[in-house]
Every structure is written in structure tokens, then in C-alpha cells.
Amino acid sequence: MRFIFKTKYSQDINIAKHNGDRFWYSLLILIMVALPLVLDDFYLGEISYICILSIAGIGLMILSGYTGLASLGHAAFLGVGAYTHAFLLTNGIPFYASIPIVIVVSFLVGAVIGIPILRLTGMYLAIATLALGFIAEHVFIKWEHFTGGNRGLPVPQPEFLGMSFYDSVFFYYVCLVFLIAAMFAAINILRSPTGRAFVAIRDSEIAAQSLGVNLGLYKALSFAISGAFTGLAGALLAHYIGYLAPDIFNIFLSLTLLLLIVVGGMGSLHGTVFGAIFVGFLPQLIAICRDYLPSSIGSQPGLEPMLFGLILVFFILYEPLGIYGRWMKIKLFFELFPTYKRQTFKKQKVFTKSDRV
């Protein structure tokens, strides 16, 4: 077990807690940078997709994992980001100018939607965001001037820094840089007073309020920040897909994002990456499973949603802290080796919490 001997106050807010962290994360970044030397285009494309999913996951994690607000319509923000980006690029705005505009637009959309909706709590919020997701999908279909409707909208792939987005190695680096930047931004937001306020709201609204947290403001802010991250992911997703159709941004995508954060581990940024890896490779996993099942079951289109549901239920019931939670448990087991207690991670039950007055 490692004990950190603190000699300066600033150590409390260091991003890396000790040299071990620094070493491993630097190594991880080095490996990620060196990956194109080893992997071919297909796997680079997959990993770029995982980076995009992670960015979207960070957005939803800030909202659901850290502020405790469920959103069942987060694909709408991906859609807003993707369509805004494609629209701007089509009208000749360069890539480096378009991305900040996309982030600002998604932030504002999040704030505008957030302010009336976030007066609601718990279940009502989940239902309202679900409805918003559907409304957004219909707006994407019907607002043809902006989105091309059901015909779809081709995404221009402009030159950026003299490179083309068709080059998968370049696109991989773009996604990686944005993921690292987004991760860094998220870590900093979460250790600032704003992020502390989010966590306080999640743990107890009443306690947060009595400590001077303006609930409405911070919930709307959380929604807006979450929207900004997800919108950025949407812009990258537009490049990845290449051709936008409204039915991409449906309820299934929203639920996939939720699956991502639940499987990864609620309330941890590591979890978004673990979850994104899981969700990104899930189609491959299912494809492998199909080979081992009898063909009458293996060829069914219903297999995917069924496995999706089974995984979700399994994690909610048996591993509510997700993959990252399992990793923490294993790590703690070896750190405390002979004295590890199962009860350390026992689920706390809350019986007194009630929506009723």
C-alpha cells in the first residue's frame, strides 16, 4: 500500500497524485501516439471511433455520473454537433473555426434546453429528456434546409494542416488530441469549485443548497457543459461517418451512451474510456458470438438489443460501479493483500430517499 506523504498544500490539487501515475499515464500516451506504426487502417478507425465515444461519454458522465441527472436523449447533442459542423463546413468555414463554433452552439443549446427542464427532478427529468430526444430526431428530419432531411447531408472532408481527413492516421491523431484535451478539460472542471458543486448536488441537493450552491444555475451549467463535450464528439463523429442521416441520432444511440457510462463505471472519468472500449468493440463481440451460436439464433437481428439489455441489467444488478469499480476492487485487493474486506465496496441502501413530500 502506498502512502502519499504530503509536504505542500498544492499536492492536494495535483492532477497526478504521485510519480507512479505520472509514469503510467505518460507511457499510455506514448503508446497511443506510437500505435499507427503497428496497427493497420481498420483498427485505427475503430480506435478513432472509441476516442469519439469517450468524448461523448465524458459529456454524459459529467451530467449523469457527477451531477446525478439522468439524460435519455443525449444523442440529440451528438446530432446538434454533427449537423452544425457539417453545415458550417459546407458553407466554407474552415475546420479550426468550425469546432469552437460547434462547442459554443452545443453549450448554448444545452443551456437553453436545460433551464426549463432542470427544475424537474429524478424520474421526471429522465422522461423529459427522453421526449426531447424524440423531438430532436424529428427536427433533424423535418428541418430540411439545415439538415437535408431524410436525404441526408454529406460531410465535407476539408484539408486541415495540409492533411486530409480521409487519411486514417491523421484522423486518428485528431481524435486522440481532442480526447486528451477533453479529458484534461473535464479533470480541471471537476476539481474546480464548479465541479465540486456538481458532486455536491449529486450527493445531496439539500446539503448542496445549504452550502450556497445555486441548484438551478449549476444544473443548467452541467447540462450545458455536458452538451458542449457531446457536441464536440458529434462534430468528430460527422467526419467519421461521412454522411449524416437523421436516424443515426435515435434513442438507441442515447441508450448506447448510457450503457457506456454504466458499464465503464458511474462517476469516474476512467470509466468513460473503459466503457467506450467496451461499447466500441461490442459489435465485434456480438459478431464473434454469432459464430458460436446455432445459426437459427445467431442470424437473428434481435440478438444485438437482447445482449445489450442483458449486459445493462447484469452491470446494474451485480457490478453497479462498472469496469472501473472492478479494477479498483482488484487493485485494493492486492494493496491490502491479506486484509481485504468485501464490505469495503458494499452497496449502500438508501431507504429514506423519496420524491414524496
When asked if residue 317 is in the footprint of other proteins (CB under 8 A), the reply is yes
Distance of CA 30 to the CA centre of its chain: 23
- In the complex, minimum distance from the CB of residue 70 to other proteins, in angstroms, rounded to a whole number: 5
When asked if residue 292 is in the footprint of other proteins (CB under 8 A), the reply is no
Among 5-13, 82-90, 212-220, 228-236, the segment contacting other proteins (CB under 8 A): 212-220
Residue 347 carries which DSSP code?
Answer: P
Q: How many residues does the chain have?
A: 357
Among 14-22, 110-118, 177-185, 235-243, the segment contacting other proteins (CB under 8 A): 110-118
Among 49-57, 114-122, 160-168, 190-198, the segment contacting other proteins (CB under 8 A): 114-122
- In the complex, minimum distance from the CB of residue 134 to other proteins, in angstroms, rounded to a whole number: 5
When asked if residue 283 is in the footprint of other proteins (CB under 8 A), the reply is no
For other proteins, the binding residue among 180, 287, 297, 336 (CB under 8 A) is: 297
- In the complex, minimum distance from the CB of residue 94 to other proteins, in angstroms, rounded to a whole number: 34
Q: CA–CA separation, 173 vs 146, rounded Å?
A: 29
Q: CA–CA separation, 65 vs 261, rounded Å?
A: 8
When asked if residue 38 is in the footprint of other proteins (CB under 8 A), the reply is no
Q: CA–CA separation, 163 vs 194, rounded Å?
A: 38
Q: CA–CA separation, 338 vs 239, rounded Å?
A: 51
Site map (CB under 8 A) of other proteins, residues 137-156, x = contact: -x--xx--------------
For other proteins, the binding residue among 30, 34, 123, 336 (CB under 8 A) is: 123
Q: CA–CA separation, 222 vs 228, rounded Å?
A: 10
Cell representation of residue 52: 469519439
For other proteins, the binding residue among 262, 279, 282, 323 (CB under 8 A) is: 262
Cell representation of residue 225: 457543459
Q: Which is nearer to other proteins, 2 or 353 (CB)?
A: 353
Q: CA–CA separation, 235 vs 244, rounded Å?
A: 11
Site of grid cell 480521409? 166
Rg (CA), the chain: 21
In order, the DSSP letters of 103-136 are HHHHHHHHHHHHHHHTTS-HHHHHHHHHHHHHHH
Site map (CB under 8 A) of other proteins, residues 14-33, x = contact: --------------------
When asked if residue 206 is in the footprint of other proteins (CB under 8 A), the reply is no
Helix, strand, coil distribution of the chain in percent, nearest 5: 75, 0, 25
Amino acid at 276: A
- In the complex, minimum distance from the CB of residue 155 to other proteins, in angstroms, rounded to a whole number: 24
Task: List interacting residues with other proteins (CB under 8 A).
Answer: 64, 68, 70, 72, 116-124, 126-128, 130-132, 134-135, 138, 141-142, 205, 215-216, 219, 255, 258, 262, 266, 297, 300-313, 316-317, 320, 347, 349-351, 353-357
